[in-house]
Amino acid sequence: MMNDTRFSGYADPSLHAHGLWIGGRWLGGAGIPVTDPATGQTIAEVPDAGFAEATMAVDAAAAAAEGWRSTPPRQRSEILRRWFELMREHAEELALLISLENGKALADARGEVAYAAEFFRWYSEEASRVAGEFRTTPSGTHRILVDHEPIGIALLITPWNFPAAMATRKIGPALAAGCTVILKPASETPLTAYAMARLGAEAGVPDGVVNVLTTARPGPFTAAILADPRVRKLSFTGSTGVGRTLLAEAAKTVVSCSMELGGNAPFLVFDDADLEATLDAAMIAKMRNAGEACTAANRFYVQSGIHDAFVEGLTARMRAMKVGPGYEAATECGPMITVQAVDKIDRLVSEAVTQGAKATTGGTRPGNDGYYYPPTVLRDVPLGMSIGREEIFGPVAAVYRFETEAEAIALANNTEYGLAAYVFSRDLVRAMRVGKGIDTGMIGINRGLMSDPAAPFGGTKQSGLGREGGVTGILEFMEPKYYAVEF
């Protein structure tokens, strides 16, 4: 149990329980420290699951599988709906927990809890709406009937940057589809996942339907689970590098994979854009979660006529941001997740500045406690730098100048990633044309935020495989079965 005084005002201390959650029971243990990124202090320790616990989790998910897949969709739906309501009832407490272990500002954490809960509401609605197919073959010989069945036990692996939402975006559709799951949250942010498991049990999720395990050895742990023939699905959100490794691992037993991987979003501003509205959207696209988002605007390409005004406006907004511990009310930009994350941002910025980029605000690593990096704007960034190729994952906006539409599209596409892009222009026909030319799974048109449970979230190229959310998200956890019917 976490004995942090910041939680003393809350009614339900059991929300801070943390052991392995297997088959509806807590299994104690230790081995993985959880750190407050604002101070570098350890705030809790969670268990380190090994092979024995991995097998126990698969056994628990298998024991619950038949009961759950044969539970009427309406009943599964009502359990998800109750889980949604419990998340809303405990929203403040969950937000504080997220802020403590992840570092993000409370406003961002509250936004995440609301967004995360919506996946349970959306999939409570979708659970009873899975449509099949019925048609006559072109030859007229027989009828085609297509049913969708739950795919089987699913292993869900999530990152630290959205500890609640990345979990609900997988658990919601999996449970709606009739699958039982094993969730492995990121080692940096396990407390939110365990709190969610507790609320799930209260909502009526049967024992073994959702199991949550932390491990300090994710590679061997995952390999052991994927080697079990009862496990038929891997849904992963995280970096492209780990995604590649997991695809290779899943190939050994031909496990179905959904992959939500890294991004390197371009943010295109044309001369005719509404400057103030574009700057507001740029702040959301860049600074939500202090830049630690897969959809975060990484590369700002700004047309010559509006370039200087854009840099000036963005600089003023970034400079005004209040940096501090996420859980302090005034904070707008919290610390980064780890000291390694700060090292990486510092390396990217230093290399760009050495090669001629100019920091109009920020650009220097502070010497205080905690894992901070200041909101930073870089202008005149040379092309070909690491800062344009790698995910920055921090509060740094790199701005480049362009002249023509064709040049902007070519620059936007010059990356192995294809997750998200943003286009700003008052000419909607042009914005849509540019959007069509950019190879990403998602495009924000005059909008800095695209995430929505009702929309298909995902990427092209090396940003992933499959989609989460929307009406198709549930099918990632289902297998079509075709009946050839003679009549």
Residue with smaller CB distance to ligand NAP, 187 or 360:
187
Site stretch for ligand NAP (CB under 6 A), options 148-156, 181-189, 197-205, 227-235: 181-189
Site membership for ligand NAP, residue 222 (CB under 6 A): yes
Beta-carbon count within 10 A of 483 CB:
12
- In one-letter notation, the amino acid at residue 480 is P
State the minimum distance, in angstroms, from the CB of residue 443 to ligand NAP. Answer: 15
Cα Rg of the chain, angstroms: 23
Residue of 93, 188, 260, 391 with catalytic role: 260
Instruction: Give the integer Cα–Cα distance in Å for 470 and 290.
Output: 26
Annotated active-site residue 260? The verdict is yes
Which of residues 157, 323, 377, 423 is near ligand NAP by CB under 6 A?
157
Rounded to 10 degrees, what is the CA torsion of 416, 418, 421, 427? 100
Which residue in 17, 42, 22, 21 sits closest to 32, CA to CA?
42
Site membership for ligand NAP, residue 391 (CB under 6 A): yes
Site stretch for ligand NAP (CB under 6 A), options 117-125, 197-205, 237-245, 318-326: 237-245
State the minimum distance, in angstroms, from the CB of residue 401 to ligand NAP. Answer: 26
Site membership for ligand NAP, residue 464 (CB under 6 A): yes
Site stretch for ligand NAP (CB under 6 A), options 95-103, 142-150, 173-181, 242-250: 242-250
Site membership for ligand NAP, residue 99 (CB under 6 A): no
Site membership for ligand NAP, residue 186 (CB under 6 A): yes
List C-alpha distances in Å: 149 to 231, 342, 441, 473, 475: 15, 45, 27, 14, 9
State the minimum distance, in angstroms, from the CB of residue 477 to ligand NAP. Answer: 16
Site stretch for ligand NAP (CB under 6 A), options 19-27, 234-242, 273-281, 315-323: 234-242
Which of residues 152, 218, 374, 470 is near ligand NAP by CB under 6 A?
218
Site membership for ligand NAP, residue 460 (CB under 6 A): no
Residue with smaller CB distance to ligand NAP, 37 or 313:
37
Beta-carbon count within 10 A of 11 CB:
8
Find residue 157's DSSP bridge partners: 184, 236
Residue with smaller CB distance to ligand NAP, 184 or 232:
184
Site membership for ligand NAP, residue 386 (CB under 6 A): no
Which of residues 260, 306, 375, 402 is near ligand NAP by CB under 6 A?
260
Run of H or E residues at 244: helix 240-251
DSSP 150-170: E--EEEEE--SSSTTHHHHHH
Which residue in 224, 214, 225 sits closest to 30, CA to CA?
214
- In one-letter notation, the amino acid at residue 333 is C
- Exposed/middle/buried for residue 403 (C-beta within 10 Å: 0-12, 13-18, 19+): exposed
Residue with smaller CB distance to ligand NAP, 464 or 470:
464
Convert 297-325 to b/e letters by CB count within 10 Å (16 or more is b).
Answer: bbbbbbbeebbeebbebbbebbeebebbb
Residue with smaller CB distance to ligand NAP, 128 or 338:
338
Site membership for ligand NAP, residue 262 (CB under 6 A): yes
Instruction: Give the integer Cα–Cα distance in Å for 473 and 277.
Output: 32
Instruction: Give the integer Cα–Cα distance in Å for 222 and 49.
Output: 11
Which of residues 238, 334, 335, 453 is near ligand NAP by CB under 6 A?
238
Instruction: Give the integer Cα–Cα distance in Å for 396 and 140.
Output: 61
Site membership for ligand NAP, residue 448 (CB under 6 A): no
Residue with smaller CB distance to ligand NAP, 161 or 425:
161
State the minimum distance, in angstroms, from the CB of residue 187 to ligand NAP. Answer: 4
Site membership for ligand NAP, residue 219 (CB under 6 A): yes
Residue with smaller CB distance to ligand NAP, 39 or 245:
245
Supply the DSSP symbol for 288: G
State the minimum distance, in angstroms, from the CB of residue 222 to ligand NAP. Answer: 4
Find residue 420's DSSP bridge partners: 442
- Exposed/middle/buried for residue 404 (C-beta within 10 Å: 0-12, 13-18, 19+): exposed
Chain residues in the site for ligand NAP (CB under 6 A): 157-162, 166, 184, 186-188, 218-219, 222, 237-239, 242, 245-246, 260-263, 294, 391, 419, 459, 464
Residues with a catalytic annotation lie at 260
